[in-house]
Amino acid sequence: MVIVDSNEKILPGPEIVAQTIYNMPQMKFSNEAVMAAIAAETNLPDTDIVQIGNTVFLAHRGKGPNKKKMVGRAFNVDTGRNFAVNGFKYFTYLQQKGITHYTTIFDGPVFLNAFKIFQRRARKQDTEIGIGRLKQYDDKYVVFIKLGKEPLAKGL
């Protein structure tokens, strides 16, 4: 797995996405097909893409009564510690955009450890984070976040 400390070097967003895909375990589809699908996804309406450090966050905003909700994921090649900081900054960004709920599905221990850190910190503030394991998959998790008003990145 390629790790690039964003305190030492910032990579361009497309390279972060590509590195993340090429570092994934064997997938059902080719890396090229996944890259093409993500490129098409970035052009969908209500898509929000933000790079913080060496993490790219890709999310989709709901419509109508769900316009304050987002579903997304992260592409990360940053260190674990930096990913946690990047996540706090991203959730604060979502709060500033008026987002109240965020959901993501992920696999792997790096993201799980980061979300446990987010959860511990959120308990001290007005944000609620629930982490669950998807039964049908060994190493997949879902996270539901109800964002409060107090910025999660404060004090970083």
- Checking if the pLDDT of 32 tops 70, the result is yes
- pLDDT on residue 22: 87
Mean pLDDT of the chain: 92
- pLDDT on residue 156: 62
Burial (0-12, 13-18, 19+ Cβ within 10 Å), 148: middle
> Residue 106 forms beta bridges with which residues?
141
HSE, side-chain direction, 13 A CA sphere, residue 27: 12
Mean per-residue pLDDT for 99-103?
Answer: 98
- Checking if the pLDDT of 27 tops 80, the result is no
- Checking if the pLDDT of 101 tops 80, the result is yes
- pLDDT on residue 23: 84
Q: Would you place residue 26 in the very low, low, confident or very high pLDDT band (cuts 50, 70, 90)?
A: low
- In whole angstroms, give the CA distance from residue 73 to residue 98: 18
- pLDDT on residue 29: 84
Mean per-residue pLDDT for 64-88?
Answer: 95
Classified by CATH at the fold level, domain 13-146 comes out as Aminopeptidase (3.40.630)
To 10 degrees, what angle do helices 31-41 and 13-22 make?
140
Mean per-residue pLDDT for 38-50?
Answer: 94
- pLDDT on residue 31: 85
Mean per-residue pLDDT for 56-82?
Answer: 96
